[in-house]
């Protein structure tokens, strides 16, 4: 059996939410109001508000090959702002797909993180503190996403990660005379729980368990959930541990069905990049806990 891992937004632009347990009412996963730190990125995926001037995101949700981000608009919970600067980690390289094995090797060795500086200070919603220690293994987390729907039994519903091709093609027309870029903000946001099983170098991982081994609202990420935060709560306040990046799976990629039980989700580990983050935002009000 060969093992392959795919970036969550490697597929085309097509969302509803995360992958859930088959034996739990899907309505229990839905949330009406996004966390203040959850920010929809242009096109697909999310970023996290970590300071009044800064967003943190996986680098692969920044589509530099098709969009010039600097000086472009971005909505922060209903208030217009402007992207002043995008800082990709110097070790980031866009992952290719020349072969199954090389893709897996690239992903495991990759660095998937970026900073986004906002032109105007965000004062109407609050940023989230970042976790700064290296003891994440075993922690129970809450995650968020607007990506593909499905359950551990059915797997991910094909082409459910939105927005769809019509929206994408409309963007191809309007990009010549407008700065508008679509997002996933009109798609249902859901939350889920899971438990960190591995914390190694730049990655956090967990497995999608079922039945007696699962948490009551056990879930995992799907296509289109890139950048979705996983958090813990300290004194009832959220602290950011990681951001959704990619997934592992085994088998023939042409026949594999995403989103089933036992799938391993992989997240950019915020604590690993503490020094790099502070190198760029040392004058900001970023808080590590």
Here the CATH number for the domain that contains residue 276 is 2.40.10.10
- In a domain, residue 26? The reply is yes
* Whether the predicted pLDDT of 12 surpasses 50: no
Summarize the confidence of residues 14-43 as an average pLDDT: 89
Name the helix (H) or strand (E) containing 278.
helix 274-281
- Find all residues with CB under 8 Å of 261, minimum gap 6, and list them: 152, 153, 208, 209, 210
- Find all residues with CB under 8 Å of 116, minimum gap 6, and list them: 47, 54, 55, 56, 57, 62, 69, 83, 85, 86, 87
pLDDT tens-place string over residues 202-255 = 999 999 999 999 999 999 999 899 999 999 999 999 999 999 999 986 655 556
CA distance 220 to 163: 20
State how many domains the chain has: 1
pLDDT tens-place string over residues 84-142 = 999 999 999 887 655 555 667 788 889 999 999 999 999 999 999 999 999 999 999 99
Pick from 260, 225, 220: nearest CA to 16? 225
- In a domain, residue 160? The reply is yes
CA distance 113 to 92: 7
pLDDT tens-place string over residues 142-188 = 999 998 889 999 998 876 666 777 887 888 888 888 888 888 888 89
Q: State the residue range of the domain holding 30.
A: 3-281
Predicted pLDDT at 74 = 97
- In a domain, residue 287? The reply is no
- In a domain, residue 288? The reply is no
CA distance 173 to 12: 17
pTM summary value: 0.89
- In a domain, residue 286? The reply is no
CA distance 46 to 49: 10
């Amino acid at each position: 059996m060969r093992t392959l891992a795919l970036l969550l937004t490697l597929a085309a632009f097509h969302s509803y939410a995360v992958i859930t347990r088959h034996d739990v009412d899907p309505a229990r996963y839905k949330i009406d109001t996004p966390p203040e730190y959850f920010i929809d990125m242009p096109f697909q995926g999310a970023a996290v508000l970590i300071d009044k001037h800064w967003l943190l995101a996986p680098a692969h949700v920044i589509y530099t090959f098709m969009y010039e981000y600097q000086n472009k608009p971005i909505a922060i919970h209903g208030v217009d702002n402007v992207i002043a600067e995008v800082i990709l980690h110097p070790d980031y390289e866009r992952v290719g797909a020349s072969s199954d094995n090389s893709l897996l090797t690239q992903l495991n060795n990759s660095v998937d993180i970026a900073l986004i500086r906002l032109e105007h200070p965000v004062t109407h919603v609050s940023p989230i503190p970042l976790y700064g220690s290296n003891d994440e293994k075993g922690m129970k987390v809450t995650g968020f996403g607007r990506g593909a729907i499905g359950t551990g039994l059915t797997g991910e519903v094909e082409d459910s990660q939105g927005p769809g091709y019509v929206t994408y093609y409309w963007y191809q027309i309007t990009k010549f005379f407008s700065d508008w870029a679509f997002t996933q903000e009109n798609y249902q946001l859901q939350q889920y729980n899971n438990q960190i099983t591995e914390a190694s170098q730049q990655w956090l991982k967990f497995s999608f368990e079922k039945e007696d081994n699962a948490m009551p609202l056990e879930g995992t990420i799907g296509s289109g959930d890139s950048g979705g935060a996983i958090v813990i709560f300290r004194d009832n306040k959220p602290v950011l541990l990681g951001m959704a990046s990619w997934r592992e799976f085994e088998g023939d990629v042409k026949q594999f069905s995403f989103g089933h039980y036992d799938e391993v989700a992989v997240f950019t580990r915020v604590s690993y990049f503490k020094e790099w983050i502070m190198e760029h935002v040392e004058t900001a009000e970023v808080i590590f806990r």
